[in-house]
Amino acid sequence: MKKPLFSGAIPRILIVDDDEVIRVVLRQFLESEHYAVEEVDNGSDALEYVRGKQFDLVILDIAMPGIDGPSVCEHISTSLVNPPPVLMVTALDDEDTIDRSFNAGAVDYIRKPIRWPVLKNRIRYILGSHRAKLELELLSKNYEMILDAAANGICGVNIQGNISYINPVGLGMLGYTLEEVTGKSYKDIFYLSSPGKDDFNMESCPFFSDRTLQETTYFNEIRILKKDGSSFPADFRSTPIIQSNRLVGGVLIFEDITERQEAAELIRYMANHDALTHLPNRNYFKRRLPQAISLAQRQRRKLCLLFIDLDRFKPINDTYGHGIGDMVLIQVANRLRSTLRASDSVCRLGGDEFVILLESTDTFEGASHVAQKAIDLLNEPIDVNAHVCYIGASVGISVYPDDCADAEAMLRHADIAMYEAKKNGRNCWAFYSSTEKSTKKAAN
């Protein structure tokens, strides 16, 4: 079981002295000051005691037979995890021995004959300092445990710009080991690139070059270079540490936002694409059509829109069920996709309605050719789970700027032309005409 940092409310003191009279006098004095006291008369027993029990102070005679005081002190300070402070007591005025005691780890010394008021205050000071030191170490350890468990990368930089701390998450993100970064300049570890660039020359700690900066600097959606040369997207915060109006270091906090960006991209994709066919959906089309019209206006060319409504699709759903109907729609989407050039686009508006936006074709002949090709493809049988389905399509065509001035009118006119094709017997295409005399062509 782990020992407590302090042995109860009453500090425990160990007296180590080969002079029995000194031990008795010291015990009486210390107990009168309400300390718990134990005593031994040699260095060997002292080492056994401090290994087996918890003490808050060791009062140790310098000159003893066997293992002398400085040797005992050195053993205590180097062999214990939380060694108690050692107060040396000596009747000698030997500078070398006193120096040796301090080098061995003693925190102070007092001469014989002992001046009791001096000893009383020395002990209070030593115990208070030791308690504060252990509490600070415990607090620092708790903070470090919290930082180690943090989900973000956290790095501490000292006034020289060298890395003094980095948590395991940060090491994992960057691909380094602790030994590779500790004591290194932050400039040799943190290479940042602004969004859309790959130069990785951003200053991650601007407060070192501009001492007027005393607030956190935020770098959103930047990229951080890893040890292996790859990079990852991150949100990065750089905060100066100011004490007594002086810069003494900084804290860097960074978060890998790969999953967040992927999730955002997925949300954007789902918002703009049909879940069944993966074609762009109505939301996408409502934004894309005005953009295409604006571009066609600047370039002074025509823009053609095909509105496609499937023929004989409802009987498939009624006869075979919606599962088969969905699989038919997927094949329809694939066939329509195959008719287009890279600059054109096909969207599913919903149900069995599709549109094709032709940006590479600005002639009536070109639009009618694509419409006829789409009809021919959709006239071919669709085999789904041993069910052979026959559908067709009616296509309405509107042309900017010939018969419309904006996106809303263009879609409405293509829809009207599609119904005109339905009236003409289906499985054909028709251009919109305001005089209701559409140019039509039946499918062969």
- Could you give the residue numbers annotated as active site? 352
- Element housing 393 (H / E): strand 392-400
Count other Cβ atoms within 10 Å, centred on residue 82: 14
What is the 8-class DSSP label of residue 10? S
* Sequence-separated contacts (24+) of 215-220 with Cβ below 8 Å: 215/239, 215/240, 219/192, 219/194
Query: How many Å separate Cα 444 from the centre of its chain?
Result: 60
Q: Residue 35: helix, strand or coil by DSSP?
A: coil
| 217-225: strand order across its sheet | 163-166, 153-158, 246-256, 231-243, 217-225, 192-193
What is the 8-class DSSP label of residue 252? E
Q: How far is CA 169 from CA 151, 176, 229, 262, 409, in A?
A: 7, 11, 18, 20, 56
User: Are the CB atoms for 126 and 95 separated by under 8 Å?
Assistant: no
Count other Cβ atoms within 10 Å, centred on residue 64: 19
Tokens encoding 136:
């600070």
Taking Cα atoms as reference points, which of 259, 261, 288 lies closest to residue 272? 288
Q: Residue 351: helix, strand or coil by DSSP?
A: coil
| 440-442: strand order across its sheet | 345-350, 353-358, 303-311, 392-400, 428-431, 440-442
Write down how long the chain is.
444
Nearest-5° Cα angle at 313, 307 to 316: 165
Amino acid at 87: L
